[in-house]
Amino acid sequence: MSRDFIQCVGRIVIPGMLLSTSAANGAPAWSLGSGVVHVPPKNADPDSAIYMLVRKLGILRHTVVATKEAVGTQTNRVWVDALPLVATVAGAAAPSLASASQAFHAAQFCVGDRILGVVKKKAGEIFYLDIGCPALASLNAFAFEGASKKNRPDIRLRDVIYAAISQADPDLEIELTCMDEAGKAAGMGILGRHEPGLVGNAGGMNGGVMISCSLELARRLTDTANFPLVEKLGKRFPFEICVGCNGRVWLTARSPRETMLLANAIALADYVVPEVCLQFAEDLY
């Protein structure tokens, strides 16, 4: 038995749920994203209902956007925002809000998406990073501004790197780069090292912490016009932040205390309404 699609928007859905909505002639097109697949109807009637099957635990999202190709037309976009899973086993203490993670696959990324990865291993000139996918993503040692055989970036295991997706084919290995189309770093590189002038370093303050969050929160953090959390926190403490579209946030401040205060304030935004989160940011000291 199917559930009404409109009533499920903004609510938690689970794998196996069948959603339905009407499909009248002239209605906007539908674009199904991560966590949702189309179920073909039994008949070919164009006015029959549209059926969607949920494939991932999370919150169902829906938005209507204008189509670039045809002026005056719109597209319904539907996707599922994965929830950070936190579990308690045999009475053991549950992980902190900032330690929850989620799994991704190559089809969720587009070329140019900024991500945060952790260096796991090296093979020749190639470094392999954990970006939250089942397979590691590759980063060439020469994919940095100013990199050459005589001037290589000093990349170490467990370094956090802010990079962009250069290849995201579902059938191929994900490839990363730390340069934009103009060959500039544009803020990408190795994070947490204050070593000006060295190839590969993104600059900024030493140290830092990386936390995991939902994709929905990652999008909201970059939309400062509608969710000014980063702006409000910046008025309290000076800090640096990088938000990855793979549900990771890296930040650093002047001291470990300020860094953890900021990390907890951002992680909390996944579990409380925006109004409470913004008020909490104003009350930090």
109 in Cβ contact with 133 (< 8 Å): no
Q: Which whole number is the average pLDDT over 199-214?
A: 84
Q: Is the pLDDT of residue 96 over 60?
A: no
- Residue 43's pLDDT is what? 63
What's 3-82's CATH class? Answer: mainly beta
- Residue 77's pLDDT is what? 86
The residue extents of the domains of the chain are 3-82, 108-190, 209-283
Exposure string of 160-178, with b = 16+ CB inside 10 Å and e = fewer, is bbbbbbbebeeeeebbbbb
Homologous superfamily of 209-283 in CATH? Answer: K Homology domain, type 1 (3.30.1370.10)
User: pLDDT tens digits, residue range 106-116?
Assistant: 777 888 899 99
User: Of all residues in the chain, what percent carry a pLDDT higher than 90?
Assistant: 35
- Residue 90's pLDDT is what? 40
Amino acid at site 259: T
The angle subtended at Cα 34 by Cα 69 and Cα 19, nearest 5°, is 95
- Residue 144's pLDDT is what? 93
Q: Is the pLDDT of residue 87 over 60?
A: no
Nearest residue to 120 via CA among 131, 109, 111: 131
- Residue 102's pLDDT is what? 62
- Residue 86's pLDDT is what? 45
User: pLDDT tens digits, residue range 18-42?
Assistant: 998 886 645 678 888 878 888 887 7
Q: Do domains 108-190 and 209-283 have the same CATH topology?
A: no
DSSP one-letter code for 201: B
CATH 2.40.50.140 fits 108-190, yes or no: yes
Q: How many residues does the chain have?
A: 285
Structure-token pair, residue 133: 């996918």
User: pLDDT tens digits, residue range 164-173?
Assistant: 999 988 788 9
Compute the mean pLDDT over every residue in the chain, rounded to the nearest whole number.
83
214 in Cβ contact with 270 (< 8 Å): yes
- Residue 270's pLDDT is what? 85
- Residue 110's pLDDT is what? 83
Q: Is the pLDDT of residue 66 over 90?
A: no
Q: Is the pTM of this model over 0.85?
A: no
Higher-confidence residue of 135 and 2: namely: 135
**pLDDT-derived band of residue 251, with 50, 70 and 90 as boundaries?**
very high
- Residue 92's pLDDT is what? 43
Q: Which whole number is the average pLDDT over 70-86?
A: 72
- Residue 225's pLDDT is what? 87
